[in-house]
Structure 1
């Protein structure tokens, strides 16, 4: 299944992928701001963790820039040993990045580490019930388990192209579910306490 969705994702034309990222940057901030407001938090009190996209992944950079412009604290992950929780460090557009594990770009060690209130993860596939198919490293499963156990996380979601939706995903006990998924066409909200929405403009 991972191989199939890698091929499917790689077939998305670059121009289409860029348009999808721009669309999400226009529509997702209001949803994320509402999550913070529902918890009684201003943007600067609700750090949002995103990621630096690898080739083929949904590009989170436009959304990160939009959130930073609204006053959100924006974070990027730093990976350690396999299947261990990620550390998130503050990063804003224009600040330096260092080379991390697996060729990932991440904030330098001197950037302050913060605990995210909202987390957005990359993925290979998702389903209509919050299931997420990751890349097999276990980083996000371990991270979500740790953050949820600590009680600080408001919500965890995924960024994906609409074609990455699967009918049924194999879910195991250690697989951490998502609270929402944002695509270029809709926001799937699995929490039930905030408005799920779909828009042809996205």
Structure 2
């Protein structure tokens, strides 16, 4: 989908922030983009990262409250932060306390769509085959109606740059599509030509 967002989002993508190199926006090759974005995240000061993560969490919470007020699905798909991704675990804990059921993605096999398992913050976790934390007791649930999708990079048109595995693209192929909210830092905005299998996100929320 490459048209207008299916849902309103008050926190649209913004120009690159100071933590990323201005040259990122001019790199067309995805492999080079990934390498540059990863380096920018590694260089991000931990205190500054924590500040940005808190801002993103607050904006996601405000978006979620507005979305659920409109009668959205209750189950929210979240992600476990990897490789310098925005860490929204304080947000997850707040949502869980408010009674919002959460689900984490689960890689079941290469080249397959993600499965989702129920998750309660604080429960015992183990590492899956990809080294990603998942609940020790896996309670499989249907695909959530709303997904928070971590982005290594994203374009003005809301196409996501991930790590190249294609798991989220395959997950979003099946209709009806869930509402997809990209999570990224403002400095992760880049430019690249979308491929035939790329699926545009409904909106992207950053610290800006």
Is TM (by shorter chain) over 0.5? yes
State the partner residue of 1:92. Answer: 120
Q: Choose between structure 1 and 2 for higher RCO, CA contacts under 8 A separated by at least 6 residues.
A: 2
State the partner residue of 1:72. Answer: 100
Task: Report the 3-state secondary structure (helix = DSSP H, G, I; strand = E; otherwise coil) of the residue aligned with 1:94.
Answer: coil
TM-superposed CA distance for 1:170, in Å, is 2.2
Task: Report the 3-state secondary structure (helix = DSSP H, G, I; strand = E; otherwise coil) of the residue aligned with 1:171.
Answer: coil
State the partner residue of 1:164. Answer: 188
Q: Distance in 2 between matches of 1:107 and 1:145?
A: 26
Q: Answer yes or no: is 1:180 the counterpart of 2:203.
A: yes
State the partner residue of 2:34. Answer: 2
More deviation, 60-69/114-123: 60-69
Q: Structure 1, unaligned stretches of length 5 or more?
A: 186-202
Task: Report the 3-state secondary structure (helix = DSSP H, G, I; strand = E; otherwise coil) of the residue aligned with 1:103.
Answer: coil
Q: Answer yes or no: is 1:26 the counterpart of 2:58.
A: yes
TM-superposed CA distance for 1:152, in Å, is 6.0
Give me the CA root mean square deviation.
1.6
Q: Select 1:115's aligned residue among 143, 162, 167.
A: 143
TM-superposed CA distance for 1:140, in Å, is 0.6
Q: Distance in 1 between matches of 2:52 and 2:101?
A: 23
TM-superposed CA distance for 1:54, in Å, is 1.2
Q: Answer yes or no: is 1:36 the counterpart of 2:68.
A: yes
TM-score normalised by length of structure 1: 0.80
Q: Answer yes or no: is 1:101 the counterpart of 2:133.
A: no
Contact 1:50 1:121 in 2 (8 A): yes
Q: Distance in 2 between matches of 1:112 and 1:80?
A: 11
The 1:171–1:108 alpha-carbon spacing in structure 2 relative to 1, beyond 3 Å, is: same
TM-score normalised by length of structure 2: 0.78
TM-superposed CA distance for 1:20, in Å, is 1.4
How many pairs does the alignment contain? Answer: 176
